Amino acid sequence: MQPRVTSVSACLFVLTLTIVGGCHGADLRTPRVILIGMDGATLKIVDPLIAAGQLPTLARLAQEGVSGPLRSIRPLLSPRIWATIATGKTAHKHGIEGFFKATGGGKGAFYYSSDRRVHALWNIVSNAGMTVSVVNWLNTYPPEIVNGVMVSEHTFDDEIPTKDDFFVGIARSRGLALDLPPEGIDRSSPVYPASWLERVRAAGVVPPSPTIEEKGESPRPPLPSTIEPNVIAAFLDRDERMTRVALEIDRELSPRLTMVLLRGVDRTSHFAYGCTAPPETYPDSFRPTAVERKNCIDLLESFYKSVDAMIGSLIQDFGPDDLVIVASDHGFEPNFNMGLTGGHWTDAAIDGIFFARGKGIPKGKPAGDIAITYITPMVLTWLGLPLAEDMDGVEPAFLQVERAGLITTYDTVGPIERLQATHSGQEERLREGLKSLGYVD
């Protein structure tokens, strides 16, 4: 039976994932790497849940390898950080400064993959003759021509309404109105190779969750007014979708390098993380009852549990000698601002999470000092590829693998080829959405 991830109930307090196991037939004699991004995850939530036995996948990774905080770099903007994780270089080198760039005349545009000035892990590994799978990594549209499959973050048409709900809801809380673009704007393929597009979309189909009325359940427990249940359920469905897509590619290719980004923890935390703060710190604009606060915390923790199960499904066919990494770009902190209760603006949120296990990694040890610039050098060293002198990080001290050497740069090893980019029609709307979140001025 092929491995699959079943649909996740939208019931906010039973956010669980059922995995039906099976072997892909991957060749475990060939060392493989999987790097899973758990956007916005913090050890402030992870550590207590592991101690309570609620995150079995991350607990197992900690036992089988190393774990600890991952030091990020301010400003804590996801596009710039995930680009650093994928390149080993800071933003002034890779060129992705945030979500949005000014283009003059009071106008602007979102950053695209073509704005990245340096080679990423998938380019380096592809050029070395190894296969890659990249799913939902930020700033991968238009997709790049790789030795494998790249599924950009612009792949699914029905993600646009989800983004509308997310940004429109926040904008309304701030008294803003968004000008939505017309439907049906043509785009080039968001997947490389284009022959994978329909297959990827089919793998990503998530059956609609039944409503409470359809299931005959009692109404959901009360939540703070900042929580919109359908929006949180959509975040979970999106992460499940990306898991299904990555499993489909893995079953077909067994790539040497897989990179998957799951973003729902970050998005949910923007709405719910403030509930973890002591009640006496709440502003007058956010005064949940004791019951609402407990339900809010349960919701956030349930989301972590569901993503832990997704990670378990993604790594189920990676052998003990394969390299498995789970990382986040930053942590979270309470931040009460116009309908949101969580953010990542100060040093209180600068540490993300890091888990790694595989050949050459000690078992059950702290990761020690490790920063976001270390991940690309770690993967390259583990795969037997040299590091580059122009990278801002090195492989972490715990890695017991001999470095393959040092080159000046990878950025002159052939051009980065991409599919044609076309205006997606989302730029102005998403700009206003990010403005309502406080990401751009």
pLDDT digits (tens, 9 = 90+) for 52-72: 999 999 999 999 999 999 999
Q: What is the pLDDT of residue 399?
A: 98
Q: What is the pLDDT of residue 104?
A: 72
CA distance 162 to 235: 8
Amino acid of residue 410: Y
Strands (E), 127-233: 132-135, 148-151, 191-192
**One-character DSSP codes across 279-338:** GGG--TT----HHHHHHHHHHHHHHHHHHHHHHHHHTTT--TTSEEEEE-S---EEEEET
Strands (E), 328-398: 333-337, 340-343, 351-357, 365-366, 387-388
Q: What is the pLDDT of residue 215?
A: 52
Distances in Å between the alpha carbon of 151 and those of 32, 372, 404? Answer: 19, 23, 30
pLDDT, tens digit (0-9, with 9 covering 90-100), for 84-95 = 999 999 999 999
Q: Per-residue pLDDT for 18 more than 60?
A: no
Q: What is the DSSP letter of 144?
A: B
pLDDT, tens digit (0-9, with 9 covering 90-100), for 332-382 = 999 998 789 999 999 999 999 999 999 999 999 999 999 999 999 999 999
* Ramachandran region, residue 9 (left: φ > 0; alpha: ψ -120 to 50; beta: rest): beta
Q: Per-residue pLDDT for 2 more than 60?
A: no
Q: CB of 258 within 8 A of CB of 34?
A: yes
Q: What is the pLDDT of residue 282?
A: 95
Percent of the chain with pLDDT over 70: 77
Q: How confident is residue 172, by pLDDT bands cut at 50, 70 and 90? A: low
pLDDT, tens digit (0-9, with 9 covering 90-100), for 223-253 = 998 898 888 998 999 999 999 999 999 999 9
- pTM (two decimals): 0.85
CB burial class (10 A; 0-12, 13-18, 19+) of residue 85? buried
Q: How many domains does the chain have?
A: 1
Place of tokens 């190894």: 130
Q: CB of 288 within 8 A of CB of 278?
A: no
CA distance 441 to 432: 9
CB burial class (10 A; 0-12, 13-18, 19+) of residue 407? middle
Q: Give the chain's largest Cα–Cα span.
A: 64
Q: How confident is residue 5, by pLDDT bands cut at 50, 70 and 90? A: very low
Q: Which structural domain range is residue 292 located in?
A: 4-437
Q: What is the pLDDT of residue 206?
A: 66
Q: How confident is residue 108, by pLDDT bands cut at 50, 70 and 90? A: low
Q: What is the pLDDT of residue 111?
A: 86
pLDDT, mean of residues 182-205: 76
CATH code assigned at 205: 3.40.720.10
Which candidate, 74, 103, 111, 171, places its Cα nearest to that of 438?
Answer: 171
